[in-house]
Chain A
Amino acid sequence: MDGVRAALAQIAPKLGDIDANLDLHLEWVAKAADQGARLICFPELSLTGYHLLDQVPEVALPTDHPTLKRLADASRRIDIVAGFVEQGAGYKFFNSAGYFSGGELCHLHRKLYLPTYGMFQEGREFAEGQQVRHFDGPIGPTGLLICEDLWHGSVPWILAQQGAEILIVPSNSPTRGAKPDRGVTSVDVWGSLLGVTAQFQTCWVIFVNRVGSEDGLIFGGGSMAVNPFGVRVASAPALEESLTMVDIDAGSVRRARTAYPLLRDERLDLADREIQRIRRLRYDLPDEES
């Protein structure tokens, strides 16, 4: 099988300590490279930790910051996906993930959906991303989604429609406890969601969650990779730090899309017409002039 080995870096970043987390990243990059990985994926906000609150502006980095440059330098060895607080134009702070390769930040994704309900308050801290774009990465056409982005079915759909074959989902997902027969519930919930997403979009889906806890939120871990048939082919344990390898064979996308030509059959015009109609209703907009 002609594959690319990817590493799922299920780490527990230190809250608010970029220097310590950068060291952690570089250490794990070396470990993954030694084990033959071409790509290592870290969780959401891997350089900062999650429950930042008023620390968000203190740890925010513009994309030309030396810390990110050091990650980029490390990406001469293998590709790196890492999460950080990005300071954008106008001092807007984004929950961003970068794809670093060959010494450069070659793709940036700003989290689109900031959960602000239940235990989450990201809408208070961050600005929303505005773009869903994939890029032609070294291991194939790749899209990044950050955690909650995957809970909005339009995002993986849009990425697949524009050509993405590999969806990478850095996450910071806390569990809501553990249940008989299900174990750590966040792992179970994500398992279903990721399986369905991979199957519907006939894409690889690589989910990298963090572990550790912050102020009582306990992150579930359970990182996993699902192939374009919706079959889980790699799983990291719940709650434990781990470096989990998965071999991604690009040929499997071709086979999945041959067996299930969902992408070919997608009716964009139909979707577009209906979306425009729903949009006018939803936002109480006037009918389009003809």
Chain B
Amino acid sequence: MKDLLAIDGHWTAELLTRFLRVELERTGLRDFVVGLSGGIDSAVSTALAARAVGPDRVHAYLLPYRQSSAASIDDALEVAENLALKTERVDISPMIDGFEEASGDVGRHRLGNVMARARMTILFDRSLKRNALVLGTSNKTELLLGYGTLHGDLASALNPIGDLYKTQVLALAEFLELPESVRKKPPSADLWPDQTDEDDLGFSYERIDRLLIAMIDQRHDDEVLIAAGFERSMIDDVRQRIVRTQFKRMPPVIGKVSLRTIGWDFRYPRAWKS
């Protein structure tokens, strides 16, 4: 089943750069803003944007917190340099300190969400300043597992990597010749020291992606998945995560009390009259 994850780097990059160019032009805006974390996802999104509209029109933001790893910042800078991007650095620590002052100790999980939303706040503010769109950096694996913060890192105007599994993002990174330091390190949300995605999720991305593509894209049932070597416990865990986090992939629910309800029978494309 591993071959299912194979993508053609050249043509995939071609599809997604065209997508970014057309969608940006449609809005009448000129630029993209993006948060560069030093991880692979934001690096690939940014690289695609730079290919689509040129590095001058992509504004990369480094948004570290006091405890963010120094290596992350170095990696982000290396990506920016590799893509010939100018960067701006905004330390989110004062925002987080302010929040903690008002709210007390909320634990690392909640504070991690607050950090993701602080970064979102800055990116959307800068997008207004620069007449730009906020570029999404969530991959398909994260989106399906709901491994992201609603209105935080999940918030964006458009997302070039949202239909690529994590391992496919890595393959695209290799095609795009992104720095090895970014491609080889263990993926991490970097919300607290030594956090890694694979520890959080309990499985390796390679295994999760093989399972997801068989389960979701191929629509195989459990017997086939088990025959392909996935344990029942993993199948159940992954399916439960997907089901439980459906709300993160959808706009808020609106109670219908009229003849035309947004989302139900008031339906236009996002590209309405553009």
Decide yes or no: A215 and B253 within 8 Å by CB, A119-B264, A119-B265 being known contacts: yes
Report how many residues on chain A are interfacial, defined by Cβ distance under 8 Å.
12
The answer to whether A217 has its CB under 8 Å from any CB of chain B is yes
Chain A positions within 8 Å of B261 at CB level: 119, 216
The answer to whether B263 has its CB under 8 Å from any CB of chain A is yes
The answer to whether A18 has its CB under 8 Å from any CB of chain B is no
On whether the beta carbons of A176 and B254 are closer than 8 Å, the reply is: no
Decide yes or no: A218 and B258 within 8 Å by CB, A119-B264, A119-B265 being known contacts: no
Chain B positions within 8 Å of A175 at CB level: 256-257
Chain B positions within 8 Å of A221 at CB level: none
The answer to whether A36 has its CB under 8 Å from any CB of chain B is no
Chain A positions within 8 Å of B255 at CB level: 213, 216, 218
- The number of inter-chain residue pairs (CB within 8 angstroms) is 32
The answer to whether B70 has its CB under 8 Å from any CB of chain A is no
Decide yes or no: A119 and B256 within 8 Å by CB, A216-B263, A217-B264 being known contacts: yes
The answer to whether A20 has its CB under 8 Å from any CB of chain B is no
Best-surrounded residue of A174, A175, A176, A218 (most CB of chain B within 10 A)? A176
On whether the beta carbons of B259 and A176 are closer than 8 Å, the reply is: yes
A104–B199 Cα gap in the complex (Å)? 53
Best-surrounded residue of A175, A178, A216 (most CB of chain B within 10 A)? A216
A-contact bits for B257-274, CB 8 A (1 contact / 0 none): 111010111000000000
Chain A positions within 8 Å of B258 at CB level: 176-177
A176–B265 Cα gap in the complex (Å)? 11
The answer to whether A118 has its CB under 8 Å from any CB of chain B is yes
Min CB–CB distance B34 → chain A (angstroms):
32
Query: Which residue on A lies nearest to B219, using beta carbons?
Result: A57
B-contact bits for A161-199, CB 8 A (1 contact / 0 none): 000000000000011111000000000000000000000
Chain B positions within 8 Å of A178 at CB level: 257
Q: Is the interface of B mostly helix, strand, loop or mixed?
A: loop
Interface residues of B in 173-195 (CB under 8 A from A): none
Query: Which residue on B lies nearest to A120, using beta carbons?
Result: B265
Chain A positions within 8 Å of B253 at CB level: 215-216
A174–B261 Cα gap in the complex (Å)? 12
Chain A positions within 8 Å of B257 at CB level: 175-178, 218
B-contact bits for A214-250, CB 8 A (1 contact / 0 none): 0111100000000000000000000000000000000
Chain B positions within 8 Å of A174 at CB level: 256
Query: Which residue on B lies nearest to A177, using beta carbons?
Result: B257
On whether the beta carbons of A217 and B265 are closer than 8 Å, the reply is: no
B-contact bits for A131-173, CB 8 A (1 contact / 0 none): 0000000000000000000000000000000000000000000
Min CB–CB distance B65 → chain A (angstroms):
36
On whether the beta carbons of B265 and A177 are closer than 8 Å, the reply is: no
Chain B positions within 8 Å of A218 at CB level: 255-257
B-contact bits for A24-60, CB 8 A (1 contact / 0 none): 0000000000000000000000000000000000000
Query: Which residue on B lies nearest to A214, using beta carbons?
Result: B253
Min CB–CB distance B149 → chain A (angstroms):
23
Chain B positions within 8 Å of A215 at CB level: 253
A176–B254 Cα gap in the complex (Å)? 13
Between A and B, 10 residue pairs with Cβ closer than 8 Å are A118-B265, A119-B256, A119-B264, A119-B265, A174-B256, A176-B256, A177-B258, A216-B256, A216-B261, A218-B256
Chain B contacts to A: CB under 8 angstroms: 253-259, 261, 263-265
Q: Which 7 A-B pairs have the closest CB atoms?
A: A177-B257, A119-B264, A118-B265, A119-B265, A216-B253, A216-B254, A216-B255
